[in-house]
Structure 1
């Protein structure tokens, strides 16, 4: 993720209009990113059925999600650098091929080990394709309205993909089989592999960078430790020795990574870029936005199935309005940014999201509360997507060409880590609250407490954007 691409799609250097080729390029890249987002959540509501079908012990079901998340988040920076070295288009296509093969393996798995191998391979494919796809997107479209629209659509489809995954998982599990949650990827990946070579223009840095192996190993191991620790804490609480060990080891390795990056001649992440206010705080806001959205889907799945007694299909379909909200937010965000600024989008979107999510604190144990849940998640989805688009534009714009590829890689990592961290963190909060519940529904109490924490995280993102990014915007206008 270094450096700049010197190659662009034909005609993108100065055009302000989408050509036919660019439209196809945009569709191909967005379809791939949408498919990857779906994979993060499509198995969530199907886990009990998968466990019964393949003989997974109940305590081990979470590894179906965890193995995917560990690989996807832990290897993002490393495989993003490999894309810089070998060519982003090449890594993009290779990752899609691995995804298709892994999905085929998972769809026909007959034992837990085979399924877990497939999930690891899917996670590695995601870690390769996502940063390469985002870098190809930003280098195919010039900075300005076109790129803002492209990033807005990308963010909208990534967010909608997560909620669509929850819907599809329920529909496929109830009407067909959980195996279709894997097999659905195969024809989509093959279609992208057929079209992409002809329309996507490769990009790579002007100077071939060296692989910062100490940095790559330390950040990969550090992220693996953090994600494992958070996942373990979501299952057993933060007092669990394995969770604490994973978190401490991960934090220590990330400190080692920072020290390495300050000393090596060609660092994986040049420390200087983190001194840019837009990069540092834009990525912070984006990470928090993905944490809150993914965790809310998990919490509401728990509420709908455990408190209201919905089936996997019913719970999945209930997220349809959230998906519609995220799509509308993705359409509205570029217009808001064009009229105001990315910082306004971060703050305004966060306030709208907090209002929608905060209304869910009123939910009760009767199905009639669905009348509140549906509009509240719609409003929250609109706000969340406005924040995500604001983050993408903030973290990848206004940079010299030599830092564009790196900025895209950091934005991708924030997205991946945020998606991965959300459920374990808020699950740990809900689990602790359930354990301390007195009377009534322990699940409902735990969900409410975790939703309150979710709103607090959203407002933290708003405060950070207003404090550190709005001040910069005022100085620029002055």
Structure 2
């Protein structure tokens, strides 16, 4: 690996093998980001074809995010102990097979099963890919550059998915969006075994089974309760039971972790200001931006009457600006630091989300294009800076835990944002009014979080 001495004036340079490793890891993460967005534009068409009504469309997203959020910490730790490369490859294989199942789905149950298995594969891919990246590239300029490239490609994958989703849905049908992911897996999977180094913690402590069971069960129960409550309210017995079970299981998890000699999550790690407030910033930037994309997709297609292809083009400008942001964000981090960049990025995302309140029932495509593209630039800055904030200063043997928290935050955010706020947009008969309500709440939450994270990181520093 190419490294720099402290006295070297040259910029950090990635060696040939470093670039290949980075390509494989980023390609896998790009594929997961593509999965979420390529389907987003196709949701109205998919719902009509499979018989999912508007209120149930969120389950096309939630069925993926439920297992991917619930199993991330467990799979991140398993990768630490038994081999990150091995688990990464297994995740790719499951993801590819599940994408094929979703492509061939003949009813909603089969489709949602495929989406759930995709989420299970993503739960293995995402934390192991991030851990392999942070253990391959040492902390400093090389890791900053690698994370900058990774963050750019994640955002670009989301944007490319929006455009491809529109084009493919209009020309080949929504099934082609899932088929694309199966083909993508066939390209990435054969390259990975010969390029990726195996990586695990050297001492291989005993797996924290009670902690794994309690945190996985608790996350699954809470995610189910929140997503179901967003659709049907908190009156159902299943919702209340899942909510109580989730809280109790997470309380058990905290108790177990405080006593276990090799905990799944180090409680002192959670008390670090950079990890606590960094993950809070990540939770909000992901959940609120995904919500903006979801409600704007409904607004553009059902209120303004745009096609899936035209909707994809509205979001296409994000791709160009994401590349710009991916180049600029590491420079900004180098100038003002990751913590300040996180706060500034959150504030920018919140203000630009508020600007979307200017859309009307008859026009708004241009405003939506400009505002969401600029907001996505800020969003990408928040993604890169929160990842650096959380993982900086963490030793290699704990990188799986730290990156597991980072990726759990991402997937849980995708799970709770769209079901909770997205449900407000579709709850009544007035979709336009619901979209405006969601955008106003979204902006207020992001701006409030920017203030809280800024104060928290400053106080902890």
1:9-52 C-alpha deviation (Å, 9 max, x unpaired): x5569794200110111111111101001112322332343344
Q: Which whole-Å CA distance do the structure 1 matches of 2:248 and 2:169 have between them?
A: 41
Shift of 1:68: 1.5
Local SS of the residue matching 1:319: helix
Shift of 1:404: 2.3
Q: Which whole-Å CA distance do the structure 2 matches of 1:322 and 1:292 have between them?
A: 16
**Counterpart residue number, 2:217:** 221
Show the 5 A alignment for 1:82-121. Answer: 82-121=78-117
**Mean CA deviation greater in 309-318 or 337-346:** 309-318
Shift of 1:384: 1.1
Identify the match of residue 298 of structure 1 among 283, 294, 299: 294
Is 1:455 paired with 2:443?
A: yes
Shift of 1:387: 1.1
Distance 1:243 1:300, change over 3 A: farther
**Counterpart residue number, 1:186:** 182
Q: Which whole-Å CA distance do the structure 2 matches of 1:65 and 1:405 have between them?
A: 26
Q: Which whole-Å CA distance do the structure 2 matches of 1:279 and 1:305 have between them?
A: 39
**Counterpart residue number, 1:420:** 415
Is 1:150 paired with 2:112?
A: no
Q: Which whole-Å CA distance do the structure 1 matches of 2:57 and 2:299 have between them?
A: 19
Q: Which whole-Å CA distance do the structure 1 matches of 2:51 and 2:361 have between them?
A: 32
Shift of 1:132: 0.4
Shift of 1:114: 2.7
1:336-381 C-alpha deviation (Å, 9 max, x unpaired): 01111111101111222122111111211112x2222211112111
1:71-99 C-alpha deviation (Å, 9 max, x unpaired): 11111111112212220011111111111
Q: Which whole-Å CA distance do the structure 1 matches of 2:297 and 2:232 have between them?
A: 19
Distance 1:315 1:251, change over 3 A: farther
Q: Which whole-Å CA distance do the structure 2 matches of 1:44 and 1:87 have between them?
A: 33
Is 1:430 paired with 2:418?
A: no
Q: Is the 8 A contact 2:68 2:411 kept in 1?
A: yes
Q: Which whole-Å CA distance do the structure 2 matches of 1:269 and 1:94 have between them?
A: 23
Identify the match of residue 401 of structure 1 among 396, 402, 418: 396
Structure 2: runs of 5+ lacking an equivalent? 7-11
**Mean CA deviation greater in 320-329 or 207-216:** 320-329
Q: Which whole-Å CA distance do the structure 1 matches of 2:37 and 2:241 have between them?
A: 27
**Counterpart residue number, 1:381:** 376
Local SS of the residue matching 2:191: helix
Local SS of the residue matching 2:24: helix
Shift of 1:334: 0.7
TM-score with structure 1 setting the length: 0.90
**Mean CA deviation greater in 155-164 or 277-286:** 155-164
Local SS of the residue matching 2:204: coil
Shift of 1:53: 3.7
Q: Which whole-Å CA distance do the structure 1 matches of 2:45 and 2:70 have between them?
A: 28
**Counterpart residue number, 2:356:** 360
Is 1:72 paired with 2:60?
A: no
Distance 1:341 1:58, change over 3 A: closer
**Counterpart residue number, 2:9:** none
**Mean CA deviation greater in 273-282 or 123-132:** 273-282
Is 1:173 paired with 2:169?
A: yes
Q: Which whole-Å CA distance do the structure 1 matches of 2:50 and 2:421 have between them?
A: 28
Paired residue total: 456
Structure 1: runs of 5+ lacking an equivalent? 1-9, 436-441, 474-478
Q: Which whole-Å CA distance do the structure 2 matches of 1:165 and 1:232 have between them?
A: 27
Is 1:231 paired with 2:227?
A: yes
Distance 1:145 1:303, change over 3 A: same
**Counterpart residue number, 1:6:** none
Q: Is the 8 A contact 2:321 2:373 kept in 1?
A: yes
Shift of 1:57: 6.8
Shift of 1:55: 5.1
Local SS of the residue matching 1:42: helix
RMSD: 2.1
Show the 5 A alignment for 1:279-358. Answer: 279-358=275-354
Q: Is the 8 A contact 2:135 2:396 kept in 1?
A: no
Show the 5 A alignment for 1:131-146. Answer: 131-146=127-142
1:377-404 C-alpha deviation (Å, 9 max, x unpaired): 1211111111111100000002233322
1:124-170 C-alpha deviation (Å, 9 max, x unpaired): 00000000000001011111111112112222222332343333222
**Counterpart residue number, 1:371:** 366
**Mean CA deviation greater in 23-32 or 370-379:** 370-379
Distance 1:374 1:239, change over 3 A: farther
Shift of 1:180: 1.2
